[in-house]
Structure 1
Amino acid sequence: MKLIKPFLKWPGGKRWFVEKHSTLFPTNYNTYIEPFLGSGSVFFFLQPTRAILSDINKELINTFIGVRDNYSEVVKQLQEYQTEHSIEFYYNTRAALSTNNVDDAAKFIYLNRTCFNGIYRVNNNGVFNVPKGTSDSVFRKEDDFKNWSRILSTAQLNVSDFEVTINEAMAGDLIFADPPYTVRHNLNGFREYNEKLFSWDDQVRLSEALVRARDRGAHIVSTNANHQSVRELYENRGLSLLTTSRFSSISANPTNRRQFDELVILSSEHFLL
């Protein structure tokens, strides 16, 4: 299977995770379900035949729909953006309103590739406000919009709360959940931004939804902040907890780990390292 990288750069993206720990995912499952889509690194890595993909970010989901349904028009518009690209054009495009999924997709991809460090951030009014970055290239040599469209062709894309999406999982389905990382008492260093996206109450709600899905027979692979308050949500509930990071191997031992390590939550103890 050809390795397909996502077309977006996303904060906290899991491209490194699937490349390093692909054996944590079952090889046989029914529907793949991802309630926090982001760049879709795991989805594009697994290339499932059936998928339910969702996020609360409407512009993000519209971007995926645009690539799925009209990738050639998206590419055409990106080519125009490349020709017009400048500091003034960046800020004019950032401020412009989109009128359809193609516009949404082209604008979103253009801003993602030319903004500062690929960051996605909005102001209190929900408006994207990241300044222009140093990259002036709208296209990348690994771009494969036709293949991205093909892989997305059988995926259901929804703007949805994560719990609604997880509740659709049945026996034999695979859920991959990678929420924004927040911890109890806001001690994780991302307090101001992440707490607005995903509160501690959301963390509790997520843990309960995943346990219910596990009880229905779904496979669970979830990543989260490696913090004791998060671990307590899943301990003693029949789930396996591991830790990993970009810079170290995966481990079941949480001691002597660095603060940037991540928690991995699995529904089964039968995994390969």
Structure 2
Amino acid sequence: MNQSIKKQITGHPFLKWAGGKGQLIQQINNYLPDNISTIDTYIEPFIGSGAIMFWLLSAYDNIKHVVINDINSDLINIYRVIKKEPLDLISELERIDTIYKNLTSYDNQKELYLALREEYNERNSSSRSVRNAALFIFLNRTCFNGLYRVNSKNKFNVPFGKYKNPKICDRETILRDSELLQKVEILCGDYTATKEYVSEKTFFYFDPPYKPISETSNFNSYTKFDFDDNEQNRLKQFCDEISATGAKFMLSNSDPRSINPDNNFFDKLYQEYNIMRVDAKRNINSKSDKRGTIKELLITNYLKSSATTNSI
């Protein structure tokens, strides 16, 4: 095990994110490829909040080239702003934070939330800016359960949350993440574009929109594009392609068998690969009794040489 894994993790996600992988770092660490200390390129085609990426960058000095991607252009705008204009973003967030917290009533705070949500929804494909990044973060910090959900017109439609003192501007995290992002190449588009960076010393981590396992578990509408079973199949074909180059990959997804023991969708789809079931906490539910531990999948195209696991 690379001794650098014992370093303090200095990078953290700057967003709350449904399905964020911070809680799975230990399990993912246990199943990293044996040659992780010789990997020089890390690629994450569905970056989301970046929990795994920030952890790996903090833990493994040997990773010199990092490529991240997401089809959500508003999310990618934040990464680019934090990389290039962190102080401007902090200033904008501090202004919003002051206005918000000077409003002492719930109704007034909700009114501001709705006004800024409307401003955010007036954005267009060319309006990538510090202001839009700040609005995104504000909405993320003050909306219900930190969800990011848009409709078919790409309009953010999550209702106002009930937080007494949300941390709208996390200055330290933004500055730490900005430093780490200096070595990161940031793409925006279909995940297949990352294939041009593949080599035998490449490690992919896939965290795609999860396959819903119940009628109430569909939280993958973070873009106006659906990620249905056809997309799950297309992703598997992409995994086949990069696996053929000698690159290694790990993929996370829901475990349909958690709800229906006869639902072997992923077991059949990835039958030639290695499938592990790990415990994950379900935190996104309006009913507290529906939250708790559930199984998720980790799928790899490699096996660990040892059955022992390592602690961070």
Q: Given the two structures, how large is their TM-score scaled by the length of structure 2?
A: 0.76
Task: Verify: 1:13 aligned to 2:39, yes or no.
Answer: no
1:157 aligned residue (186, 196, 202)? 186
* In structure 1, distance between residues paired with 2:87 and 2:46: 26
**Structure 2 residue 221 is the aligned partner of structure 1 residue 198:** no
Higher RCO (C-alpha under 8 Å, 6+ residues apart): 2
Q: Verify the 8 A CA contact 1:35 1:166 in the aligned structure 2.
A: no
Aligned to 1:49: 64
Rounded Cα–Cα distance in structure 2 between residues aligned with 1:62 and 1:111: 15
Percent of residue pairs bearing the same amino acid type: 28
Alpha-carbon offset, residue 192 of structure 1: 6.0
Residue in structure 2 matched with residue 210 of structure 1 by the alignment? 239
Opposite residue 93 of structure 1, the aligned amino acid is: L
Q: What residue in structure 1 maps to residue 259 of structure 2?
A: none
Contact 1:33–1:166, Cα closer than 8 Å, also in 2: no
The 2-side partners of 1:141 and 1:80 are apart by 13
State the shift of 1:167 in Å: 5.3
In structure 2, C-alpha distance between the alignment counterparts of 1:176 and 1:21, rounded to whole Å: 10
Following superposition, the deviation at residue 191 of structure 1 comes to: 7.2
Partner SS state of residue 27, structure 1: helix
Measure the CA separation in 2 of the matches of 1:130 and 1:16: 23
Deviations 1:162-197 (A, max 9, x none): 2222453221101000111226xxx54357664863
Greater than 3 Å deviation, 4+ residue runs: 97-100, 138-143, 187-196
Residue in structure 2 matched with residue 234 of structure 1 by the alignment: 270
**Which SS does the other structure have where 1:65 is aligned?**
helix
Question: How big is each residue's C-alpha offset from its partner over 1:36-76, in whole Å with a ceiling of 9 and x where there is no partner?
Answer: 11100000000143211111100000011111110000000
| CA-to-aligned-CA distance 1:113-156 (integer Å, 9 cap, x gap) | 11111011112211111111112423477842211001011111
C-alpha deviation, 1:158, in angstroms? 1.2
Q: Which runs of 5+ in 1 are unaligned?
A: 248-257
Listed as ranges, the matches of 1:143-154 within 5 Å are 143-154=172-183
1:84-123 pair list within 5 angstroms: 84-85=99-100, 86-96=109-119, 97-98=122-123, 99-123=127-151
Equivalent position SS for 1:260: strand
Distance (Å, rounded) in 1 between the aligned partners of 2:192 and 2:279: 26
1:169 aligns with 2:184: no
Preserved CA contact (<8 Å) 1:242 1:263? yes
Normalising by the residue count of structure 1, what TM-score does the alignment of the two structures yield? 0.86
2:300 aligned to 255, 261, 266, which one? 266
Tell me, yes or no, if structure 1 residue 80 matches structure 2 residue 95: yes
The separation in 2 between residues aligned to 1:108 and 1:116, in whole angstroms, is 14
- Is the CA contact (8 Å cut-off) linking 2:90 and 2:169 kept in structure 1? no
- Letter in structure 2 aligned against 1:58: S
Distance 1:167 1:84 in 2: 45
Q: Give the secondary-structure state (helix, strand or coil) at the position aligned to 1:113.
A: helix
